[in-house]
Amino acid sequence: MPPASSLHAKLNILIAEDNEPSRRLLQGIVNGLGIHSVVAVSNGADALLELQEHRYDIAFVDVKMPIMDGFELAGLVRSGAAPTNTDIHFVFVTTQANQEAISQAQRIAASGYIVKPYTIAQVTAKLNSVAEAIANTRN
């Protein structure tokens, strides 16, 4: 397996987070890992537009957002609303990892979740795990 830094250099990541400080924090962590491209938006509707126009490998998506929540966004994408991203890896960002949220994430075939407040190490570990899964499917 290539080192994480070489896996990161090829990734395109979308962040959908309505809370600006949280969005900036997550974007800063991801940028600091040497990701090829990171785009951040503030709601699910803007995320859907991005996913309809551009190809992404991973989407870090807040579960609770105005206009369209993270689960609704992922469901639309999985059902074909963003044809070039139906296989995107969703990582949900949530304040609570209760059983209902975990079950819903599993139904959408999410690649996992991180719980706020998260640490740099938690984001890095989740990103590395998903990047390895992506690399394995590309090889």
Confidence of residue 8 (pLDDT cuts 50, 70, 90): confident
Residue 4: the pLDDT is 59
Q: 94 with 112: CB under 8 angstroms?
A: no
pLDDT, mean of residues 63-71:
93
Using one digit for the tens of pLDDT, what is the confidence trace for 15-59?
999 999 999 999 999 999 999 899 999 999 999 999 999 999 999
Q: 47 with 16: CB under 8 angstroms?
A: yes
Q: 56 with 12: CB under 8 angstroms?
A: yes
Residue 45: the pLDDT is 97
Domains defined for the chain, CATH in brackets: 4-138 (3.40.50.2300)
Model confidence, pTM = 0.93
Backbone angles phi, psi at 73, to 5 degrees: -55, -50
Q: 1 with 46: CB under 8 angstroms?
A: no
Whether residue 1 has pLDDT greater than 60:
no
Tokens of 66: 């105005």
